[in-house]
Structure 1
Amino acid sequence: MQTDILISVKKLTKVYGKGNLALKVLDVKNLEIRRGELVALTGPSGCGKTTLLNLLGALDRPTAGDIFFEGQRLALKREAALCGFRRKKIGFIFQAYHLIPTLSALKNVLAPAFPLGKDYRQRALELLRLVSLAGKEGRRPGELSGGEQQRVAIARALLLDPDLILADEPTGNLDSATGAGIMALLKNLNQRGKTVLVATHDQRVAEECDRKIRMMDGRISQ
């Protein structure tokens, strides 16, 4: 029987350095994200939001504790399996976009599929239409505005139809009007059934979400 809990975290910690130089940057006792939620992860810069997103998305491994995704313990997966897990289950949206400057918008969207040897061109074109970039498929990142680059990044995150979208300060580099448009797009994706976790220090973004989780000094404070 399928549970509505997509992610469950138990006694999760992340420590950098050893001995007297050890620094604990994350200490989360319990956290659950349900399918179909739109959740804001809030708190000031340096509070651990990005570290937590990286662990939930299997970009990094915790020092201790467990992350369960659909009931599966991520710590038991080898790196090759984690790579497949990330590709299939997680869509990442970064504040800095991380687009490849020499590639067109279309090819940037197609980038996650390059190792698969399958034709995702039609889906990529449909996603660019979804994010209102039809007609700009051939433009490189330098020929697009910041908001357009972020929409390319969102389309890229959706290419392989992930269950979870992790967005790290997706409006942080954008003006308020453009940021509102990006947030409206994320809400639309959530209404289409995607689970979305947004890390933000912008209260306006947080208020658009179903639930707010506040972090402070690496811990969940409320």
Structure 2
Amino acid sequence: MVGPDVLIAVKNLTKVYGKGNLAVKALDVKNLEIRRGELVALTGPSGCSKTTLLNLLGALDSPTTGDILFEGKRFALKSEASLCSFRRKKIGFIFQSYHLIPTLSVLKNVLTPALPLGKGYRRHALELLELVGLAGKEDRRPGMLSGGEQQRVAIARALLLEPEVILADEPTGNLDSFTGAGIMDLLKKLNQRGKTVLVATHDQQVAKDCGRNIRMIDGRIN
């Protein structure tokens, strides 16, 4: 049983790749709780399975063993269709490489999460572009933007369906320190507006900007 302030809880979570003698345990997390409204840094060196954990928490992958609970309900009890709906409505993903569609305008990139749900999000998308500092650039293609601007588009896209949780995987990893600081300021602003934010990073300055640090070593929480 988890407390009412706990949004995500992990119990005895493992992820194993391969079988038999070739099996590799990439992740082994006994207990982890993320509370509503937290800004958490998931730190550790490259290869320590930060991304693996984020993918499991965001229902992009399935654990080998263990439980993940969101608002007290187990992922394992959901069908694939339910998981897809859960990801769209509850989780906003921000990736290091942005994953924008180069042939679409900035506005259409922001609107992509709404495609399975129908129309009616254009005004909200424009409001989000203003929030992230890109007002007036909605008709540009991603290739016309700087790296920091592309990451801001990705953040606006992640916010379109008003998710409760933002999972950011090395959101400043491809950016210079000045631009990265701007992205972190934006994530802190979102946290202050009530979003729960989990940031995977190896950048110590990013970690310092977060309210709590969780350090991973060799797939385990240290």
Q: Same fold (TM over 0.5)?
A: yes
**Residue 156 of structure 1 aligns with which residue?**
157
- State the SS of the aligned residue for 1:180: helix
Q: Structure 1 CA distance, aligned partners of 2:146 and 2:219?
A: 34
**Residue 92 of structure 2 aligns with which residue?**
91
Q: Deviations over 1:48-87 (max 9, x none)?
A: 1000000000000000000000001001111100000000
In structure 1, stretches of 5+ residues that fail to align are none
**Residue 9 of structure 2 aligns with which residue?**
8
What code does the residue aligned with 1:101 have?
Answer: P
Q: What RMSD over aligned residues (CA atoms) do the two structures have, in Å?
A: 0.7
CA drift of 1:41 comes to 0.1
Q: Structure 2 CA distance, aligned partners of 1:14 and 1:76?
A: 18
Q: Structure 1 CA distance, aligned partners of 2:119 and 2:164?
A: 20
**Residue 31 of structure 1 aligns with which residue?**
32
- State the SS of the aligned residue for 1:197: strand
**Residue 121 of structure 2 aligns with which residue?**
120
- State the SS of the aligned residue for 1:137: coil
Q: TM-score, normalised by structure 2?
A: 0.98
CA drift of 1:119 comes to 1.1
**Residue 18 of structure 1 aligns with which residue?**
19
Q: Structure 1 CA distance, aligned partners of 2:104 and 2:195?
A: 27
**Residue 56 of structure 1 aligns with which residue?**
57
- State the SS of the aligned residue for 2:28: strand
- State the SS of the aligned residue for 2:153: helix
- State the SS of the aligned residue for 2:101: coil
**Residue 138 of structure 2 aligns with which residue?**
137
CA drift of 1:118 comes to 2.7
**Residue 76 of structure 1 aligns with which residue?**
77
Provide the identity percentage: 82
Q: Structure 2 CA distance, aligned partners of 1:184 and 1:116?
A: 30
What code does the residue aligned with 2:153 have?
Answer: V
What code does the residue aligned with 1:220 have?
Answer: I
CA drift of 1:47 comes to 0.1
Q: Deviations over 1:172-210 (max 9, x none)?
A: 000000000000000000000000000000000000000
**Residue 42 of structure 2 aligns with which residue?**
41
- State the SS of the aligned residue for 1:44: coil
What code does the residue aligned with 1:205 have?
Answer: V
- State the SS of the aligned residue for 1:213: strand
**Residue 104 of structure 1 aligns with which residue?**
105
Q: Structure 2 CA distance, aligned partners of 1:46 and 1:209?
A: 21
In structure 2, stretches of 5+ residues that fail to align are none
Aligned length: 220
Q: Structure 2 CA distance, aligned partners of 1:145 and 1:186?
A: 18
**Residue 147 of structure 2 aligns with which residue?**
146
CA drift of 1:107 comes to 0.3
